Chains A and B, each alone.
Chain A
């Protein structure tokens, strides 16, 4: 098991109160697996992804345990996390376009970063150049300033830098959101390439765009309002999802070759609940077409088929006996 997350709760302290953005999440990613983390804005996926690497000043870990390659990741301790960052767990941030120091040449920045981590730039340079060429850039991009590069080029450079030390876990946070479709595809292929070349062991791809996950991910984990909704292999999630939310998400995607008079796109009316004071029971209840009385109680995240888990009372009775993947109930609502 490369990554094991057990009942993780992360909250933000705001002036208006505490927001539990990640509310009792349990899952695991294997070596060599690319897991997609999908959901709409505000569901907690970015918080989860970023929290595993560097917690924002306002974030707090309430409970839970994170293990990487058998060792515990001290995510709430900034100093203790430093040796893990970049070398074991790395991130391609959402703000990759502005992640490079504007007044430093790219190569110089990498050199200083490596030196500060105790690595030698000169010996890393040939590999760095090789990888830069691999993603379709010219080696002299290292001698340029960030402002001289286009958005797509910067995205690729940041991906190369983030994976330079061959981390066990790479978190790719909305890496395709700011790009055009063809570059999106290229970036998706880059993620597959990185795995093939063994630059990274496991990858977590965070996005709201399911189509890129269809191209890249092995498994997809769907989050809603801070809790897990469904987890299954990618083709199952897209082809035969069980959770009403996932079903609604998939059906709101346009299909190639479908004319709009044959099938209309259905959106999901309403908005996700506020996490400042989350409702009791299933959080999707308000917007769910299949909601019934039992939904007043929060459904546990249970494995209903091998490798397929869902948090919904419609399928809870079909749950496999405990011992499988993530058979723990989704955690309670603790105060921050």
Chain B
């Protein structure tokens, strides 16, 4: 039984609060514009395959600029760049989403524990966090990726999750600290609630908007890291992703041969998605925090 069960079931304030968020969310330009970019890319990834004319493995005329037959032209091998783009976008979004989720979960778990328990556990977690924060993420990834014999999309997502959670943990820990000192947590403790239950039912829901913002940033960051990781040749060997497209373009003379259609779309897609996420993040911040709402 949680503390909230003891309070009168007021559907009023909580419902109004959620509607208030929705009301402002629908009117916030930054959120709408940002989200629309992300949704656009997601649609591309989902529906795109239906518009793919040639299989990625079919080799046609080489070095073709964009045309009606090949929307994004062909590359050095004669493969359809549009097909590569669509499947690569899927992979990149997938890895980014998974990596971002993983990092959020890790950051949340460790942040809650550190913020709630305090004391020695907090200090120990802090040291771990500091260590990982000062080690450059990509370099660590290269090191691990270089030592691993083979990577897959899942492994890549796991690696990204394992190296990018640090700032999230710090932020969530700070927020948890400020919540823990509030009375409703003290009351829950007194009524004998277990720590895990307190964290899940009292603290987390109060931070839900903040957690969502953290997730968005981690998602965007994961996409960028994955792109760099793949670009360096550490990605899944027979896969296709936006980073791999850029890597191939760089390795196979796209520059001297002016095959700009090979590397411009993948990078543009990344900028579009991540930029949209960052913009939506700022917009959401304004929705959740009335002080920032300018007119």
Task: Verify whether A and B have any Cβ pair under 8 Å.
Answer: yes
Which residues from chain A contact B23 at a C-beta distance below 8 Å? 15
Which residues from chain B contact A58 at a C-beta distance below 8 Å? 295
> What residue of chain A has the Cβ atom nearest to residue B27's Cβ?
A15
Rounded to whole Å, the gap between the CB of A202 and the closest CB of chain B is 33
Rounded to whole Å, the gap between the CB of A325 and the closest CB of chain B is 37
Rounded to whole Å, the gap between the CB of B17 and the closest CB of chain A is 15
A58–B24 Cα distance when bound, in Å, is 17
- B269-295 vs A, CB cutoff 8 Å, 1 = contact: the mask equals 000000000000000000000000111
Which residues from chain A contact B24 at a C-beta distance below 8 Å? 15
Interface residues of A in 6-44 (CB under 8 A from B): 13, 15
A13–B294 Cα distance when bound, in Å, is 11
- A286-328 vs B, CB cutoff 8 Å, 1 = contact: the mask equals 0000000000000000000000000000000000000000000
Which residues from chain B contact A15 at a C-beta distance below 8 Å? 23-24, 27, 293, 295
In this complex, how many residues of chain B approach chain A with their Cβ under 8 Å: the count is 6
> What residue of chain B has the Cβ atom nearest to residue A15's Cβ?
B27
A167–B258 Cα distance when bound, in Å, is 72
Rounded to whole Å, the gap between the CB of B145 and the closest CB of chain A is 43
Which residues from chain A contact B295 at a C-beta distance below 8 Å? 13, 15, 57-58
> What residue of chain B has the Cβ atom nearest to residue A14's Cβ?
B295
Rounded to whole Å, the gap between the CB of A336 and the closest CB of chain B is 12
Rounded to whole Å, the gap between the CB of A21 and the closest CB of chain B is 16
Which residues from chain B contact A57 at a C-beta distance below 8 Å? 294-295
A57–B292 Cα distance when bound, in Å, is 12
> What residue of chain B has the Cβ atom nearest to residue A16's Cβ?
B23
A58–B27 Cα distance when bound, in Å, is 18
A58–B291 Cα distance when bound, in Å, is 12
Which residues from chain B contact A13 at a C-beta distance below 8 Å? 295
Rounded to whole Å, the gap between the CB of B8 and the closest CB of chain A is 17
Rounded to whole Å, the gap between the CB of A330 and the closest CB of chain B is 28
- A32-67 vs B, CB cutoff 8 Å, 1 = contact: the mask equals 000000000000000000000000011000000000
Which residues from chain A contact B293 at a C-beta distance below 8 Å? 15
Which residues from chain A contact B27 at a C-beta distance below 8 Å? 15
Rounded to whole Å, the gap between the CB of B293 and the closest CB of chain A is 8
A15–B24 Cα distance when bound, in Å, is 9
A57–B294 Cα distance when bound, in Å, is 9
Rounded to whole Å, the gap between the CB of A9 and the closest CB of chain B is 19
A13–B24 Cα distance when bound, in Å, is 15
> What residue of chain A has the Cβ atom nearest to residue B24's Cβ?
A15
- A199-238 vs B, CB cutoff 8 Å, 1 = contact: the mask equals 0000000000000000000000000000000000000000
A58–B294 Cα distance when bound, in Å, is 9
A215–B293 Cα distance when bound, in Å, is 40
A58–B23 Cα distance when bound, in Å, is 19
A293–B27 Cα distance when bound, in Å, is 42
> What residue of chain B has the Cβ atom nearest to residue A58's Cβ?
B295
- B37-71 vs A, CB cutoff 8 Å, 1 = contact: the mask equals 00000000000000000000000000000000000
Q: Given contact pairs A15-B24, A15-B295, A58-B295, enumerate 6 new A-B contacts (beta carbons under 8 Å).
A: A13-B295, A15-B23, A15-B27, A15-B293, A57-B294, A57-B295
Binding site for B on A (CB under 8 A): 13, 15, 57-58
Q: Which 6 A-B pairs have the closest CB atoms?
A: A58-B295, A13-B295, A15-B27, A15-B24, A15-B295, A57-B295
Q: Would you mind naming 9 contact pairs between A and B with Cβ atoms under 8 Å apart?
A: A13-B295, A15-B23, A15-B24, A15-B27, A15-B293, A15-B295, A57-B294, A57-B295, A58-B295
